Amino acid sequence: MKRLFYNQPIEQVFDDVHTKTSGLTNEEVEAKRSEFGANELEQKKQTSLLEKFFNQFKDLMIIVLIVAALIAAVSGELVDAIIIMLVVILNAMFGVFQEAKAENAINALKEMSAPDAHVRRGDQVVTVKSDELVPGDIVLLEAGDIVPADMRLIEGAALKIEEAALTGESVATEKQFNVLEDETLGIGDRSNMAYMNTNVTYGRATGVVVATGMQTEMGRIAGMLNKTAETQTPLQANLQQLGKVLTFLILIIAVIVFVIGLIRGEETVLDMLLTAISLAVAAIPEGLPAIVTITLALGTQRMVKRHALIRKLPAVETLGSTDIIASDKTGTLTQNKMTVERLYTNGELTDSSEQQDESTGLLTKIMVLANDTKQTSDGLQGDPTETALVQYALDHNVNVEQLMADNQRVAEIPFDSERKLMTTIHQNADGIFAASKGAPDALLTRITKIEIDGNVQPMDEQARTKILQQNHDLATQALRVLAFAYKPLQTVPSDPTSEDVENDLIFVGLIGMIDPERPEAAESVAKAHQAGIKTIMITGDHRDTAQAIANRLGIVDDGEDDAVITGAQLDEQDDATFAKNVKKYRVYARVAPEHKVRIVKAWQKHGKVVAMTGDGVNDAPALKTADIGVGMGITGTEVSKGASEMVLADDNFATIVVAVEEGRKVFANIQKSIQYLLSANLGEVITLFMMTILGWQILAPVQILWINLVTDTFPAIALGVEPTEKNIMKRPPRGRSSNFLSGGVMSSVIYQGILEGLLTLGVYAYALLVPLHTGDAQIHADALTMAFATLGLIQLFHAFNSKSIHQSLFTIGFWKNKYFNLAILVAFLLLAITIWLPGFNQLFHVTHLELSQWAVVVIAGILMIVIVELVKLVQRKFWYNKK
């Protein structure tokens, strides 16, 4: 069991890590380094580019295509085999290219580590590389340092550490040095500990290293990342399922045709083998992987223009199936920047956006002076709370530099976590005065007067009660409240102390501040809700703060206390109990990294597709566990970005909603392409199957491959860039259980494939019954050519039906997609030249058709459009619009 250290006296900590106040000797350091190793994070084994490339061929659909290429090569169709293999190889190269751009999350964790540390060894302070630290080292910290290892704090002054990357809490933590008795405290509440890779923002301290490398809290997260398996996306699952179904059907159909042909005894074994190969080629949608990849790639390019960067192609489609967005609060839904929101002065509460008057001017003056913020060329530097006070002044056109120049600081009493106050002493043209700020309960005990309307008067109980009530009201709104006061002095104290200066103070006012929500976040949450997507807030902040922000964003309503749960309450539930209760909770406060993973997994057990957003190191394990991890590009750590499938370049929660819309569009377009391809291939299979059963001459493999290449691929790719259908964001998420063949697609594939086959067979039969030429050979050649032309042309006509699965073609529009129109034209010309151009006739085993024969072919194509549109009309009237 891991030792806690925060609930032990420092003497016991020293005993446990075998050290002393003077630090370790060189011999002790070497011995411990042999025992504990370097203070660095382990790396997960990297996948080489070659391994990435071969991993692309593990997909069943790709294997089917490779088999198809081998079959084509064996049957003598080397050109077709080469084309299929080129498609497979290009698809693999594109997948490798996308994955190669990903940064490794553990590498990024490693790069965050502090380069140097100031250590006391043998009673001498020396500077060493942080990876040389061992448990028992005594480390000195000051403002600006990165904490190099997990440490128990020994002593110090006014120490504040910003731990947002680890805990998710937006406010820097005030540290103290006493023993904490509670054994159930979360990381964010262990105020006498400092953790690896967090930032010292204020004060100084000395601490003893209690954990290094993979034993640190940061190392624990790295270990969770290493153990987290890659999640299969819905797209990958759908394609895998589709590949299995197609493989099974192809084998069954090919075997049936082969056996029937042999039983009839009219064909040789070789002829029937070639027939079975033709059927297999007809059934395999060899263009599907390329179409899916191209559609995803085009979606990726569109999303880049809208500030969403995709690291892995399937992530585009996964967004479209999202049921749950589990969002980190700090920096994602909020601005990760403390902001003054309310002011109480002169007995009145005002909004921070209102203009200043004389009383708020005095309050602003004290806010700026009792402050250690530095103005630099890079902006305001200092504690986030103090920079927020100066930023308020700047926003209200206060000349901060002039104000500080006119009121020179001559002495100070630094902030102390025990008295919770800070006081600075200033001298100006009117004299000397002290400016104080601190926690309202601490400051009010030292206040005896109050300034109202420019007049200083004694503080009576009525005024004191009113101030305390106002403090309570602001605190219940999850605002962090500070009180401000001042005091005229006769002289500058030579050695100012709290007892001498911080008494008999004059109350000026209160301010309430918060890390506010992003302006566009509430609207985005509402849009997600309209799309049937539930937004869950997960944060390391306190419960009241989390609930207040969630209420302002519309994630929870007033009084919905049961929808909010803390990490400690979550620990009281086992996984089975939590999985049952997870639907009740929409806000999680004070959580640890493992809690976030539990939340994601609990929703996944309900079959939900979960998108997890985050920007901190603490978010990385959950980002990797989720179906799609969404990192923040600006404020996000490299760790969170490395663990994500998508990165928001603008850190804008609204971009997620845009990405969801794009993901839904991508899925819809891939689904259209699949419906088109499978119905077309089914039409080919039925045509060949019935020709074999009826004893007719069948289409040759080269004819089927040419139809698949020109009339399948080009229109199917063009369907991938169809415009977004109306109301796509008003539909509920399709969820994990749906697939490319759900929502009526499977039934449409079946009846449309049968229709294509029957129309083609009908044209073949018509050519036999009403021949234009004489001679059996010529009649059968004409019939086969008309069947070839019909099967190709009917698919081009059917591509127009496929522009929407259920909506009318006349609503969608014939000509809105210029790429589609061009694809149809090119496919038609490539099909026609096999019949029109001399020389191609012999290559494709076809004859020249007369105008009247072409008319029959075109009529069959028009019938395809008319019949399918009539069926869609009936579906809309009696089924799909009523769902």
- pLDDT tens-digit readout, 782-813: 899 999 999 999 999 999 999 888 888 888 77
The secondary structure of 516-543 as a DSSP string is PBPTTHHHHHHHHHHTTPEEEEE-SS-H
Mean pLDDT of 569-586: 93
Band (pLDDT 50/70/90 cuts) for residue 106 is: very low
Tell me the per-residue pLDDT of 347-371, one tens digit each, with 9 for 90 and over: 899 998 887 776 678 999 999 999 9
Mean pLDDT of 290-318: 77
Same domain, 269 and 392: no
Same domain, 538 and 614: yes
Cα 158 to Cα 11, 31, 45, 441, distances in angstroms: 22, 35, 42, 18
In the predicted model, is pLDDT for residue 688 greater than 80? Answer: yes
Same domain, 565 and 503: no
Q: What is the per-residue burial (b if ≥16 Cβ within 10 Å, else e) of 653-674? A: bbbbbbbbbbbbbbbbbbbbbb
Write out the two tokens for 645.
């499938």
- The answer to whether the beta carbons of residues 669 and 721 sit under 8 Å apart is yes
pLDDT recorded at residue 203: 84
Is 472 part of any domain? yes
In the predicted model, is pLDDT for residue 416 greater than 70? Answer: yes
Q: What residues are annotated to the active site?
A: 328
Which residues have a Cβ under 8 Å from the Cβ of 211 and sit 6 or more positions away? 135, 149, 150, 196, 217, 219
Residue 296 burial (CB count, 10 A) = 26
- Residue 182 belongs to a domain with what CATH number? 2.70.150.10
What is the separation of C-alpha 662 from the centre of its chain, rounded to a whole number of angstroms?
Answer: 14
Is 55 part of any domain? no
In the predicted model, is pLDDT for residue 450 greater than 60? Answer: yes
pLDDT recorded at residue 467: 94
Write out the two tokens for 73.
């090569």
Write out the two tokens for 538.
């997960």
Domain boundary among 514, 543, 569: 514
Band (pLDDT 50/70/90 cuts) for residue 107 is: very low
% pLDDT > 90, the chain: 34
In the predicted model, is pLDDT for residue 473 greater than 80? Answer: yes
Same domain, 874 and 801: yes
Task: Give 642 or 525, the one with higher predicted confidence.
Answer: 525
In the predicted model, is pLDDT for residue 94 greater than 90? Answer: no
What is the separation of C-alpha 91 from the centre of its chain, rounded to a whole number of angstroms?
Answer: 24
Element housing 488 (H / E): strand 480-489
Residue 684 burial (CB count, 10 A) = 28
- Compute the CA torsion angle 640, 645, 649, 650 (nearest 10 deg): -80
In the predicted model, is pLDDT for residue 46 greater than 90? Answer: no
- Residue 399 belongs to a domain with what CATH number? 3.40.1110.10
Domain boundary among 619, 651, 683: 651
In the predicted model, is pLDDT for residue 111 greater than 60? Answer: no
Same domain, 748 and 866: yes
Same domain, 259 and 162: no
What is the separation of C-alpha 261 from the centre of its chain, rounded to a whole number of angstroms?
Answer: 54
Which residue, 328, 314, 318, is CA-closest to 733? 318
* Domain count for the chain: 4
Same domain, 135 and 17: yes
pLDDT recorded at residue 223: 73
Same domain, 779 and 835: yes
Same domain, 672 and 616: no
Band (pLDDT 50/70/90 cuts) for residue 620 is: confident
Is 838 part of any domain? yes
pLDDT recorded at residue 652: 76
Is 529 part of any domain? yes
The most confident of 106-120, 578-592, 657-671, by mean pLDDT: 578-592
Band (pLDDT 50/70/90 cuts) for residue 64 is: low
Region of poorest pLDDT, from 96-105, 199-208, 297-306, 838-847: 96-105
Band (pLDDT 50/70/90 cuts) for residue 588 is: very high
Band (pLDDT 50/70/90 cuts) for residue 103 is: very low
Task: Give 117 or 209, the one with higher predicted confidence.
Answer: 209
Q: The domain containing residue 682 runs over which residues?
A: 234-300+667-882
Which residues have a Cβ under 8 Å from the Cβ of 765 and sit 6 or more positions away? none
Band (pLDDT 50/70/90 cuts) for residue 113 is: very low
Same domain, 23 and 147: yes
Same domain, 685 and 736: yes
Cα 812 to Cα 617, 751, 815, distances in angstroms: 46, 22, 9
φ, ψ at 829 (rounded to 5°): -65, -40
Task: Give 581 or 277, the one with higher predicted confidence.
Answer: 581
- The answer to whether the beta carbons of residues 432 and 426 sit under 8 Å apart is yes
Domain boundary among 187, 204, 227: 227
Tell me the per-residue pLDDT of 249-258, one tens digit each, with 9 for 90 and over: 777 877 887 7
